[in-house]
Structure formats: C-alpha cells, structure tokens
Amino acid sequence: MRSLTVLSGGMGGARFLQGLLHAIRTDKLAGADRPDVTVVANTADDIWVHGLKVCPDLDTVMYTLGDGIDLERGWGRRDETWSARDELAAYGVEPTWFGLGDRDIATHLVRTQMLDAGYPLSAVTEALCRRWQPGVRLLPMSDDRVETHVAVTDPTAPSGLRVVHFQEYWVRLRADVPAERLVFVGMDEASPAPGVVEAIMEADVVLLPPSNPVVSVGTILGVPGIRDALRATTAPVVGLSPIVGGHHVRGMAEQMLTAIDVEVSAAGVAGHYGARSGDGVVDGWLVDSSDAALVPQVEALGIACRAVPLMMTDPDATAAMAVAALELVG
C-alpha cells in the first residue's frame, strides 16, 4: 500500500488523521510500507470575516497535524491571544459572534493576500503547509467558492424561515434551532481542486473519517466529479461512523442528518453513503462496539461492516481505528 486518500472535515477528521499518521509512523499497518496520505478537506464551511478568508477545516487539519492546534478547544491556535477580536467588538463591527484569534489572523492574512494576488486556494494551502509540515498532502475539495447555508425556523421572518451561513448556525446559534433545509451555494458550478480526483483514483484505499456525513464529507462528495471518482476508483472506500449509540460524538451530525431526513444511527449513515455495489460510495463501514447489533443491518446493504471501539480518546485508540478500517478491506 503506497497511498491513502482521506476525505476530511475539521475536528473529527483532524483527530482521525492524527491517529492514522501515528499508526503509519509506528508501523502498525500490517505488511505496508509507510503510505503517503492525501487529505481532501471540506471547504464549504469557509467564510469571509472582516475581509479575511477563513477556512476552518483546512486550518484545523493543518494546525492539528502541524502541532499548532489548541488541544483543549480542538480548533484554533495554541497560546492564542484575542486582542484583535476585542478591538473589533469595540468598533462594533459584525460579525461579533465569530472571534478570530490573533495568531490565527496571521494565517488568514497570508491566505487572503495570496488569493487577492490570484493564487487559487489549493496553491495557498500548499504555501501555508510549507510552514506547518502536516505530514500529509492537504488539498481543498475545490478552489471554487462553495458555502453551506442553513435555513432555520424564525417566527419573526415573513416566510417563517431565515437562511444563515453554516458558521452562523454553528457558532452563533450553536446548532440548537432546528435546521429546516441545507443549501450548498455554488456547489453546482464548483470543480474539484487540482489533484483531488487523481488522489481518489490513484489511491490504494480511500477513507471517510468519522466527520460530519452531511456538511463535511457530504459537501466534498457534492462537488461535481468527486462522487463519480469515488465510484470509479479501484481503491476500496471505507468509512467510520460518526454516530455512536444514536448520537454524534461531537459536532452537530444529528441536526444535519435530521435536516436531510436520514436516521441518526451508525446504520443510517451507512445507508446514506450507500454501497458501491449499488449506487453508493462505500465498500466498508466501521461502527462502534456498542453498535455491534447494527452490523447485520449494514451488511444487508452490501457493505462490509465490523464493530470496533470508535472513541478517539488518544492517538493509540485512534490509530487502532485506522488500522481496523484498513484491515476491513485489506
């Protein structure tokens, strides 16, 4: 096995990647050389704030693997300061609910300036990674602007609905108002970033980490061409359930699955992705040990399935998950 490709969201994906790299570096992948890892990261959470282009998932992966992440929060920079955020609030400039750390701002300044100079996001990401050395090749899913917007119930709006950027739904509303509908602005016109389709087609295995199946992995799959590549590649595709015991481990997968009428269970998500032998995108699926009873239900979909511990409590536990995923199709 020479190359792995991972379609990743932010925190969950980054933590999974940490475990995967730990497994690779400690030679836990049975019979394998140390494969190269390509990460295709979700960019539909991206947002322009105070004139700066912010890419939360790309940065969470980059900071996590580059050892710059704030471990406690799981996002943003370690030893962060918040002077600019406080000042922007003193100026009364919106959005006040999206606080940028001072160290983090430097990343966004470099990115924004390169984008303004005409570099595509993929080239910018490569430049930023020259500093962070994440140990993976990190690609945005697309160089085009794609944004997840969420229609939420708002009794004060004439239509009863209000559409907000995903970040506003997640950060300001804390995902605790019902998401009635998801809109992926720009998705139909987007193309995969350079290298994305090739990374899927030429991989030995493609992994879907326990990232949000709707607004992280789902948006990556939504970029025209990526789903086709997943179905066409000779590489097996294995996913890990972000739902354990009918609840997400972190984030807001429950709300997002509910918004698109998918059952909030490890089997529900497997069915949502679907079997490649049918019209879906996965060959294998890991559920948590506590969901072992769901294995037959997933296998009935034509998806190889195994129940293993899926709690990413430390790099060893997470490495074991990555090893189990690869063994499922190995």
Question: Which positions from 128 through 147 interact with its own copies, judged by CB under 8 A?
Answer: 128, 131
**Backbone phi and psi for residue 240, each to the nearest 5 degrees, phi listed first:** -120, 135
Q: For residues 81 and 289, which CB has a smaller minimum distance to its own copies in the complex?
A: 81
**Backbone phi and psi for residue 238, each to the nearest 5 degrees, phi listed first:** -125, 135
Of 88, 89, 61, the closest CA to residue 75 belongs to 61
Question: Which positions from 36 through 55 interact with its own copies, judged by CB under 8 A?
Answer: 50-52
Please identify which residue in 18, 43, 107, 297 interacts with its own copies, judged by CB under 8 A. 107
Q: Which contiguous run of DSSP H or E holds residue 318?
A: helix 315-329
Stretch that binds its own copies, among 39-47, 77-85, 186-194, 225-233 (CB under 8 A): 77-85
Please identify which residue in 36, 70, 78, 80 interacts with its own copies, judged by CB under 8 A. 80
Stretch that binds its own copies, among 6-14, 87-95, 146-154, 196-204 (CB under 8 A): 87-95
Please identify which residue in 93, 183, 293, 300 interacts with its own copies, judged by CB under 8 A. 93
Q: For residues 80 and 228, which CB has a smaller minimum distance to its own copies in the complex?
A: 80
Hey, is 304 helix, strand or coil?
Answer: strand
Of 276, 218, 256, the closest CA to residue 264 belongs to 256
Q: For residues 102 and 299, which CB has a smaller minimum distance to its own copies in the complex?
A: 102
Of 249, 252, 48, the closest CA to residue 150 belongs to 252
Angstrom distances, CA of residue 62 to CA of 70, 94, 215: 12, 27, 19
Work out whether 81 is an interface residue with its own copies (CB under 8 A): yes
Residue 253: CB atoms within 10 Å:
27
Stretch that binds its own copies, among 26-34, 79-87, 190-198, 202-210 (CB under 8 A): 79-87
Please identify which residue in 90, 234, 279, 313 interacts with its own copies, judged by CB under 8 A. 90
Beta strand pairing status for 36-41 and 137-140? parallel
Residues interacting with its own copies, by CB under 8 A?
Answer: 50-52, 77, 79-81, 83-88, 90-93, 101-103, 105-107, 109-110, 112-113, 116, 128, 131
